[in-house]
Amino acid sequence: MGLAEEHAEAPSEVGGVIFQLASAALVVFTAFFIWEEATQLWFEVKRSKENAGNGAVAAFHGASNYFTTWNILDLLRILLVGVAIIWSYSDREAFFSGDGLSLLSFTVLVVWSRLISFLRAFQNTGHLVRTFITIFWDIRMFFVLLALMGCAFASAFGILFQQPLNSTGLEGALWFVFRNAIGEGNSAPEGGDETTLTAKVLMLLLVIVLYLVMTNFLIAIMSDSFDRVQDNAEVARNLMRLELVYEAEVTASAEAAGRAPPRSYIFTCEGVRFANASRSEADQAADKWEGRVKQVEKTVRRESRMTSAALADQGHRLAAIEDRVSGIEANFNQGQARIQEALERLLEMRSPELSEDRRAKEASSSESPLSASPGALPAETFPTIAPQAAEASLVMNAQS
């Protein structure tokens, strides 16, 4: 007996009774979930109006705050379960065959996936749920790029394999691209020849772009998202708990909220006394090492950039000091030349014979190419320069 015939029997039988009870329970739970979601939506709109004033813009802003990941999943679950209940009562035989089974399988998948939200309350799974959501949020643009590349290759293979321009031909080309992109090696659609040179070249490009490049691109995005959440794992856990507490507060009845005193919740990561008193030392040590390698890498990169900047600054300063030293040396040489010239003139004023001898030697040195440069004092005159300069200085002071 098939599944459709089994559920098509009279409700008085055991299977029929169970089906009716399960359907009634689903109706009750669906009604409760609809009331819960309506309460959350009303609360968000009311709070937005209280903060931003009455108006359509404030109401729209509050409604947009309602559509979070978990609320969208709740609305999808309610919609699918409601459609399944109505369909099962209107045409039970058609519901448990064909498209009805497809709807039921997808509905069961959504209901089971909603159980992930309850893992947010636990210490060891809260940050993993946050990582799961963050990864799906980060790869949204990746899927857009992947879809564009898939459509490009599907169009190319559809034209090459002479597929008809209808839904069947497009589906066959897309399925061929998808199966080969994941490494299954699917054969060409009906009427296509994959042994041609063009088909082989396109297949090679398909493997390189979709199978190698895009797969590694996806792994890199997921790894970066995981590291970013792990760097603040304790914050992610508390954020998940805070969402659960917020949902519980919003869905509380207005009467109970009016009688109960106002409550406040403080969520901290570290530093508060007795915050981690109930946890083992091993768990605390593991939390301290979460994301530590990534933090060390960031610190090393930051210190490397600072060191490079400091070395560049020191190089500029050293070049400036070298320029200043060169200027000082030039000034010193110029001053030394002026002192030597002044001494020579003082000697000429003091000793006319020495002046005449010097002019004679300069004349002879100018005639000889191997002689010293003009203006240089003879070596035998240097021992007498100092006392004669001192005597000339005393004479000039006496005259003044």
Half-sphere exposure for 316 (CA within 13 Å, toward CB): 5
Which stretches of the chain drop beneath a pLDDT of 70?
A: 1-16, 52-53, 247-294, 351-359, 361-400
The pLDDT assigned to 148 comes to: 92
Please, what is the Cα angle at 16 between 11 and 22, to 5 degrees? 120
> According to DSSP H, which parts of the chain are helical?
3-7, 14-52, 56-66, 69-90, 92-95, 99-114, 126-138, 140-160, 167-181, 197-206, 214-230, 233-251, 254-259, 281-289, 292-350, 352-367, 382-399
Amino acid at 315: G
Q: Cβ distance 26 to 81 under 8 Å?
A: yes
Amino acid at 282: A
The pLDDT assigned to 365 comes to: 59
Summarize pLDDT for 93-152 with one digit per residue, the tens: 777 777 778 888 888 888 888 788 778 777 777 778 888 888 888 888 899 999 999 899
Q: Cβ distance 109 to 116 under 8 Å?
A: no
Cα separation, 273 vs 367, in Å, equals 99
The pLDDT assigned to 10 comes to: 44
pTM confidence score: 0.48
| Token pair recorded at residue 269 | 């990561």
Tell me if residue 304 falls in helix, strand or coil. helix
Q: Which region, left, alpha or beta, applies to residue 68 given φ > 0 means left and ψ of -120 to 50 means alpha? A: beta
What is the four-CA torsion angle of 238, 242, 244, 245, rounded to 10 degrees?
130
Cα separation, 174 vs 210, in Å, equals 13
